[in-house]
Structure 1
């Protein structure tokens, strides 16, 4: 879909663009005009279209219009559910079918591999076992692991834990979202909580709503973030808008498994109401923390790919309000994720990379399913590794305010190099955005984040925020006056190699202890797993918090040395397993 208009006529209520400023012609000034063969190829492939124009039935809704442009769109009929474009139907078994009912390959369940325990049997690195919550909330495949019964009980447990009061509720566009949201709302109300339904919004939008309200006890966000479409999850947010502490999650689990639910009497059962202002408040919050004038003066051309996720209702409108010339891909919320898989990695962003090159855009921006992360493509069409975008944003924050940057042990040394050169300090934590956010809150850090595109801006809120990351990167480009590719090229060069080794969950702690013994006598960091530090590089070996594997991260100044360190890390895990 091409995001372009001069006058907005009507949009769905929750997808309305933020106020402020007259919308501009988004493609005006792009170096690739309509007559250019590259632009023609893009249109022919359908990359920038929501769906083909053709006969339609039923009531219609005007989405946008320029003078003389009367294109319309009708709401999808039931059999079109999960359809973005073309003629695809949702396969109830998890795949897609075309009109001849030919099957298509199912999405790879990257978030769960063979042998992964269900959401009732989770564990975290170095922290023992949690029976319900994983690294980022509760997740599972819809049906066997994640269902309405579970959502009701989780809602009851959280409602009992917060002892009544107002609790916000939000979701991403997954097809199972309404089912789980209504079930969780029922559980909350049965415990005496009043539910504020924010609807389909990005996760950081819900967190911002809670943090700035001052009266909301917390929130439940129904999302599985970057996991494939058959997954969904429940994320618990505290009254500060942060993901709940481990201690709070354990208390909720105790209530859940012991069935110590509070049952409100008939006169104290909670209520539910909708609040459609969350997106507007969130947009105003982001705009207030960036130099909008500098961005508007530069008027960058941006290709944004929300991936059919929650970012569709926020980021394209935010970018236009900042004066950007915007092209959008996969910008219709669709829980079947027909455009691409939700995780914004290079393997899934082929269309974004191609379009950035063909229209000579200044930057490409991609989100995951709930838009709490943002990854970038530079002006040359090259994917920017998360460590490097994190380093650029960290350096900008330290130059502006000085202070401390918080990041996990898995992040590349490039972040430490640029932060120290700018006069700041780095604090390393265990892997996990909730841990990074809590450490930032406790230490007064000026910036933090992970290498997966999750950046945290404490002046805004203490959680990962994809829209703020996008706005801050555009601000950085405007202030530096350089292309993103040039800024990335100037960073210290490190080569990174990652590997995984399958390890049964029940052997996780024993294997980790064995690796610690094997690494004795060497310089190590045991903040999370075992990180062996060498003069010319480092290798980190740590158990995954979501899969039955050990992750190996190696980095060095040369590719050969990075490969050697990664091989050494894999060998350590296999030796700890007993030579397997």
Structure 2
């Protein structure tokens, strides 16, 4: 038996297929989830079981369903691959006890993953994933066969209810009436028949790319980053489009592109959509962002009288803040390209995000680049960067000691505040900031910075010297 420890990150368990991610380990993990549900006195309302378009996703889902049935629980299988936010929506809509979703999100094609969402529909909190890890380790130690049960033939199609809800949250008619021309990239993943269908059914003039399943994702990781979507960017520039919309493999992350090479990053999209919600809908209240997310969002929040709540990296922290006071929540997001809004699921949703961006462009009646430029002039104009530095395992303690004990100055600016919410973040006297955070999955330290364009290179060079990677 493979005794390799199984750990849960911010979005569940991920491993390379046929190495750590095996049918045997899947049976163990799902059995641990089932035992946890039974012990908590839940499990009587069924568990959603679904998958993305990766290798063997449907087979893993059937295996999970049989393990749940073997524990006396009711598996609720989808009839096809499903976006992560749709799985979350179905948990809430049905009052289910949770969802088991086989997805490795934007990881390279050789990876598979298992994400468990509890009855809230949001990401599993740390106390739950820690409890699951303990159960998994005990099941591995015992090595006993995992009981399997029979599963019903019936499966359900989750598209209709979710699309209806998105139609209530997004003004699709405004997008249609505006006549904006949209290029959609489903990235061989789960957003096909959702993102493209919502726009097509509303009568919007769109062109769709990569709207069929491909476990290899066209030869790139299924991440909507410029370096991984060359065909999409070429088509966007060669066609007469106003906007390009792209989601990742499981449709929880997003990217929005404009022609002529001027495209906002995820930080900027979050700020833009906050401004749109406050301006067009009059929404006020709480805006939640992770500690690594741009303070451009803070400036826009201040403009509209909204309160900023800063949380650790990981969407589960945003979800927890959203659940505390859903009526006060406006928007929550992170620099890695995930967000949700008031009245929606406590999970990041790339379909919602891209459509909300299209609504904004339609309502404002001007190009995306112009909207962004004006908002920066009204608030702040900053540059945000993230640089990854690999290190040897024996270097970790020295790096940890160095970042945890900041100097009085950084890049010739006084450090006014040292935030240790998640990693080490230094707020500098000129309003710029830098942050150091260790990856939870690989020997990499991430260096974040935000400043004016004139000082961005200076801060990056200072960060390299400070860490010893100059």
* TM-score, length of structure 2 as denominator length: 0.89
Aligned length: 447
Change (3 A) 1:405 1:505: farther
SS in 2 for 1:217: coil
- Aligned partners of 1:371 and 1:467 also within 8 Å: yes
Q: Alpha-carbon deviation of 1:510?
A: 6.1
- Aligned partners of 1:455 and 1:464 also within 8 Å: yes
Change (3 A) 1:232 1:551: same
Question: Which residue is 2:399 aligned to?
Answer: 511
Structure of larger gyration radius: 1
Q: Alpha-carbon deviation of 1:362?
A: 1.4
Question: Which residue is 2:363 aligned to?
Answer: 479
Q: Alpha-carbon deviation of 1:416?
A: 1.1
Matches within 5 A, 1:207-286: 207-214=88-95, 216-259=96-139, 269=149, 271-286=151-166
Structure 1: 5+ residue runs without aligned partners?
A: 1-117, 122-130
Bigger shift: 413-422 or 147-156? Answer: 413-422
Q: What are the superposed Cα offsets for residues 453-495 of structure 1, whole Å, 9 maximum, x if unpaired?
A: 2111231111101111122112212222221111122223212
Change (3 A) 1:350 1:403: same
Question: Which residue is 1:48 aligned to?
Answer: none
Question: Which residue is 1:144 aligned to?
Answer: 19
Change (3 A) 1:474 1:437: same
Bigger shift: 515-524 or 144-153? Answer: 515-524
Change (3 A) 1:343 1:478: same
Question: Which residue is 1:337 aligned to?
Answer: 217
Matches within 5 A, 1:373-388: 373-388=253-268
Match of 2:86 among 190, 196, 205: 205
Structure 2: 5+ residue runs without aligned partners?
A: 410-414
SS in 1 for 2:433: strand
Change (3 A) 1:274 1:567: farther
1:408 matches 2:299? no
Match of 1:434 among 296, 312, 316: 316
1:573 matches 2:467? yes
| Whole-angstrom CA distance in 1 between matches of 2:453 and 2:371 | 21
| Whole-angstrom CA distance in 1 between matches of 2:7 and 2:235 | 41
1:538 matches 2:419? no
Q: Alpha-carbon deviation of 1:339?
A: 6.2
SS in 2 for 1:461: coil
Q: Alpha-carbon deviation of 1:502?
A: 2.1
- Aligned partners of 2:66 and 2:151 also within 8 Å: no
* TM-score, length of structure 1 as denominator length: 0.72
* RMSD between aligned residues: 2.6
Q: Alpha-carbon deviation of 1:452?
A: 2.2
Question: Which residue is 1:91 aligned to?
Answer: none
SS in 2 for 1:250: helix
Change (3 A) 1:192 1:307: same
Higher helix proportion (structure 1 or 2): 2
| Whole-angstrom CA distance in 2 between matches of 1:475 and 1:383 | 16
Q: Alpha-carbon deviation of 1:526?
A: 1.3
SS in 2 for 1:169: strand
SS in 2 for 1:449: strand
Question: Which residue is 1:365 aligned to?
Answer: 245
Match of 1:500 among 385, 388, 402: 388
| Whole-angstrom CA distance in 1 between matches of 2:26 and 2:261 | 42
Question: Which residue is 1:156 aligned to?
Answer: 31
1:425 matches 2:307? yes
Change (3 A) 1:299 1:371: same
| Whole-angstrom CA distance in 1 between matches of 2:395 and 2:134 | 25
